[in-house]
Amino acid sequence: MFGLRLLSALVGIPLLVAAVWYGGLYLLAVSAALMILGARELSRICNRANLQAPLPLMLAGCLVLLVFTYIFRDGFPGPAIITILLMYLIAVVKLYPRLTPLDAAITFAGTLYVGLILYFYLISTLSDGWIWLVFMLACTWASDTMAYLVGRKWGKHRIAPALSPGKTVEGAVGGVLGSILAAAMVIFFNPHLSVAFVLVLGTLVGIAAQVGDLVESAIKRQAGIKDAGGLIPGHGGILDRFDSMLFTAPLVYYYVGQIIIT
């Protein structure tokens, strides 16, 4: 299993690094593609859980997020969220009882969830954005990898047995330490950065990565499935690979934008 994970990483990481390097519309397009694939997986997961999140409606919401994110470049702008909410409520009025208020609520939450992928692009719009994007990727990957290796080797105390029996306290600690180590490496190559702020951010990223992983585990547990999809060998689907980043990307964006930059 670890061999497949490593092979997938060796193929996928260069592609993502290329998107980071070129940035701009190229990174936005890659983020949009990941969001669309994630929406497709999430719609299927909802169906497996006997919930309805119509893919066409979710994709329409994703398109609104994409357009408004590109225009405003300021997180999830209020106009986008309001537009999506009103669009889904109007859909309920037009399609009821085929589409119920509960369906619209699930679709709305799912759209915002997969839409967090757009924070990859938003990080790149910050001052020294490419540094912070590399920081987010490095810390998240280090956290995921160290959590897996430490948990596999020394894990004894389960952190959330009802959600993910394989996750342990020892693995979570290893994941946070891995993120801190990656943050220290970023400082080494960028000595102009504030050491205290970056190490705190590295710690927070390590914690957020664990939470993001557990949230996706809860979603899959509700549907009674192991993997969100089978697109990435050794990892499962897009949501399996990027679940941690759905939490770490917004964290880095707001932390850097609101604390360090200001």
Q: What is the pLDDT of residue 22?
A: 73
Confidence of residue 160 (pLDDT cuts 50, 70, 90): confident
Q: Is the pLDDT of residue 50 over 60?
A: yes
Q: What is the pLDDT of residue 9?
A: 54
Q: Is the pLDDT of residue 192 over 60?
A: yes
pLDDT digits (tens, 9 = 90+) for 195-211: 999 999 999 999 999 99
Q: What is the pLDDT of residue 254?
A: 94
Instruction: Give the tokens for residue 67.
Output: 């357009």
Q: What is the pLDDT of residue 7?
A: 47
Q: What is the pLDDT of residue 13?
A: 64
Instruction: Give the tokens for residue 14.
Output: 């260069």
Q: Is the pLDDT of residue 4 over 50?
A: no
Query: Where is mean pLDDT largest: 75-79, 144-148, 217-221, 246-250?
Result: 246-250
pLDDT digits (tens, 9 = 90+) for 108-145: 999 999 999 999 999 999 988 889 999 999 999 999 99
- CB distance 167 to 214 below 8 Å: yes
